[in-house]
Amino acid sequence: MAFNIVVGAQWGDEGKGRVVDLLAAEADYVARYSGGDNAGHTVTVGEQTFKLHLIPSGVIQPHTVGLLGNGMVINPAVLLSEMEQLRQAGVVINPERVRISYAAHVITPGHRALDKAREMARGEDKIGTTQRGIGPAYNDKAARSGIRMEAVLSQETFADAIEAHIEKINQQLTALYNAPPLDAKSVAQEYAGYARALAPYVGDVSTLLAEALESGKSVLAEGAQGTLLDLDHGTYPFVTSSTPTAPGVLVGLGVGVGKTNRVIGVTKAFQTRVGEGPFPTEVFGDAAIRLRGTGDNPWDEFGTTTGRPRRVGWLDAVLLRYAVRVNGLTELALTKLDILTNLDPLRICMGYKANGETLENLPLGPSDLSPFEPVYEELPGWEKDVWEVREWDDLPPQAQEYVQRIESLVGLPVKLVSVGPERDQIIQC
């Protein structure tokens, strides 16, 4: 039995999808436990590139079963279209291969409209959400007024519930935000169709996992978003509305404490963020274009879900140390080392300066990072192209030094280094 977790150690988009795809080779079940289609996970296998939003990236490995846990919020329209796209790409998707927790929550067009209206109303203070309805859906969950996936099993009452829900949201849209109401009846009709299509996939993920672990199967939990977007532990209020950190796995899948083995934190070799909020090591101008790319390559830093350019900066070891602590990471997977080739010198933020003092750790968590000035350490860059490197010993010494410096700054081993998006562009250390 193995129960391993892959979690984002930064602000999302660390390359979790590609790491999960790799580790899924050894897993029987791959399970998403939080978030919804705000996530965009890219997996490149040969000529094919998959962009997954709801279905775990592990399903690209044909022997796995993909699970959508109770901690998720699911837009049925997005899920069904993702299933279709995967089928067209040759991935088998049927109720034996994909199971959805009865306790996951449903996202509706009402949630999406509210997300948009609330962002508009915030004006300058907007969060920069993906506008996928994530916040409003988790709002309804916490307010105990949400609709859960189990509702699709009673198709007559499901349509009525959706209609009543949209009518309630319409009151908010019109009265609070001066936004146009939705057509509740047509949404209800549309959702009745989704219910018929999704009912065979809905089941009890928690029990399924308990039985799987009991019989010695191997489970991989696939994080979405990242540590610094966690509702409690992230850069609040510029966060998402769920618990992407590793403890969210237990709640979001219904698995007891004490079952987990490896907790793998995925981090880029530099730092990115999409949306608003603090980013102490952010760089601008030419330096930013150098790290972001211009959009010519599929891996350039433009959001998988929204296409927005990602903000970029130097690796922040203070925030990475924090991620190690709140997740209980056991190891790191370092992605996009190839992007640093030909950059000299390289910089890593090893501390924050405040009141003439250099701090190694955050005094009050990561919500307000404005008083801090990053303290950088410079390391020599390398010129050798690492794209084809597959063995640690073949990395240029400066690249080895960069990876080893990260290990010593955060006190954890880097077990995987990726040097390109393709499945085999990985160095096992």
Residues labelled as active-site residues? 13, 41
Applying CB under 5 A, among 8, 13, 58, 151 the residue interacting with Mg ion is: 13
- Give 428's strand partners: 416
Would you give the binding string for Mg ion spanning residues 19-48, x where CB under 5 A is met?
Answer: ---------------------x--------
Residues in contact with ligand IMO by the rule CB under 6 A: 8, 11-13, 38-41, 127-130, 132, 134-135, 224-226, 229, 240-241, 274-275, 304
Applying CB under 6 A, among 304, 327, 330, 341 the residue interacting with ligand GDP is: 304
- When CB distances are held under 5 to 8 angstroms depending on the partner's kind, the choice from Mg ion, ligand GDP, ligand IMO, none that residue 129 binds is ligand IMO
Tracing tokens 């029990």 back to the chain, one arrives at 207
Q: How far is the CB of 16 from Mg ion (least distance, A)?
A: 7
Q: How far is the CB of 358 from ligand IMO (least distance, A)?
A: 29
Q: How far is the CB of 238 from ligand IMO (least distance, A)?
A: 6
Would you give the binding string for Mg ion spanning residues 296-315, x where CB under 5 A is met?
Answer: --------x-----------
Q: How many residues does the chain have?
A: 429
Residue 421 lies near ligand GDP (rule: CB under 6 A): yes
Residue whose C-beta lies closest to ligand IMO? 275
Structure tokens at 90: 């040759």
Sign of CA dihedral 4, 221, 144, 159: negative
Q: How far is the CB of 130 from ligand IMO (least distance, A)?
A: 3
Of 166-174, 184-192, 335-343, 350-358, the segment contacting ligand GDP by CB under 6 A is 335-343
Q: Scanning residues 337 to 356, which ones bind ligand GDP (CB under 6 A)?
A: 338-339
Half-sphere exposure of 217 (CA within 13 A, CB side): 18
Nearer to ligand IMO, 41 or 233 (CB): 41
Binding site for ligand GDP (CB under 6 A): 8, 12-18, 40-42, 44, 298-299, 304, 335-336, 338-339, 418-421
**Which residues make up the interface to Mg ion (CB under 5 A)?**
13, 40, 304
